[in-house]
A = this chain, B = another copy of it.
Amino acid sequence: MIVVMRRGASQENVQAVVERVKELGFRPHLSVGEERTIIGVIGDERTLNENVFRLMEGVEKVVRILKPYKLASRDFHPHDTIVPINDISIGDKRVVIIAGPCAVESREQILETAQAVKEAGAHILRAGAFKPRTSPYSFQGLGQKGLELLAEAKAKTGLAVVTEVMAPELVPVVAACADILQVGTRNMQNFSLLHAVGESGKPVLLKRGMMSTMEELLMSAEYILSHNNNQVILCERGIRTFETYTRNTLDISAVPVLKQLTHLPVLVDPSHATGNWEWVTPLSLAAIAAGADGLLIEVHPHPDKALSDGDQSLRPERFAELVNKARAVALAVGREL
């Protein structure tokens, strides 16, 4: 941590900061420049509040030097984390495809979709039983019944299952069915939920908040990792910007940046990012080209009848084409699919 003094700060101001640094058990390191004096604070700054210095007389600003996360950082864990889900390895050479409808709507719908995505080459089934919806008047998911139908689809197809959990008290019931617990974009900073999924010991798919920086995403991962649960999979799904033509703006740069900052696997969800099925395939290819470890794709046998997110769902035959194209790009960048 570096404390920058204001131009014209007095000798007493500087001395007071130096004393405070020592009091707190850190080592001060003074550097007198032409316009500003700066004071280095030597020690593990993660345990320090900035305001212990920022509010002192004569201080202009405080700059942090270290990254605020440790467990999620490559600095302390240089090798890629690979999360095994049955016989699938997320974060390894193979690009993993997770597909399925936004929500479980009926027995026919989920069984038909699960079979179709499996045939098209998907490795894992996704579908929501509990649905976070902006409007109280929208379909809220089948809940427990949805979980049972997911379990049936899993038994029939052999596909592992990822589904969202929205509240801490639901973690046990969702964990009983799901192979991966999904924390949704609106819950990325629901810290009670992060504690609960951390404790569960289950693999967690952590979606980036639509309003969250990459650093905040890694801090939320840190919450889970700090419960000795190191099976965390990150997912970029679009952020909110001023552009309204797409539902969100896919932050494709997050793929190489996160792969550099952290050892955790990074997936991309182009369906939620664009909100429009017509752009899902090109963005899927872009994600793989950028280095993503996998994709989350919404597929529905009858998108115009879907109870949620129909606009962005691919029909099974279009999804099959996507997988073929994705395979070609994966090979071109030295991956498999």
Contacts and interface: CB of A to CB of B under 8 A. Distances in A.
A26 to B, nearest CB: 10
A167 interface: yes
A173 interface: no
A239 B135 CA distance: 21
Copies of chain A in the complex: 4
Interface stretch (A106-114, A115-123, A147-155, A209-217): A209-217
Contacts of A260: 278-279
Nearest to A273: B253
Contact of A245 (B44, B51, B189, B215): B215
A336 B249 CA distance: 28
Nearest to A61: B65
A309 B55 CA distance: 11
B46 A137 contact: yes
Interface string A258-297: 0010000000000001100111001101111111000000
Interface in A26-47: 29, 31-36, 38, 40, 42-44, 46-47
A111 to B, nearest CB: 22
A192 B213 contact: no
Interface in A224-252: 226, 239-246, 249-252
Given A219-B134, A282-B256, A331-B332, A243 B213 contact: yes
Given A36-B66, A132-B191, A241-B249, 16 more contacts: A2-B63, A35-B66, A47-B137, A51-B303, A51-B310, A167-B193, A211-B212, A213-B243, A213-B245, A241-B241, A243-B251, A282-B290, A285-B333, A288-B289, A289-B329, A332-B332
Contact of A222 (B50, B136, B273): B136
A242 B245 contact: no
Contacts of A134: 68, 189, 216, 219
A121 B90 CA distance: 36
A304 B56 CA distance: 7
Nearest to A62: B311
Contact of A167 (B55, B66, B168, B304): B168
A75 interface: yes
A159 interface: no
A244 to B, nearest CB: 7
A49 interface: yes
A38 B3 CA distance: 13
Contacts of A97: none
A85 interface: no
Nearest to A59: B304
A223 interface: yes
A301 to B, nearest CB: 13
A169 interface: yes
Contacts of A50: 311
A36 B51 contact: no
B290 A286 contact: yes
A51 B252 CA distance: 24
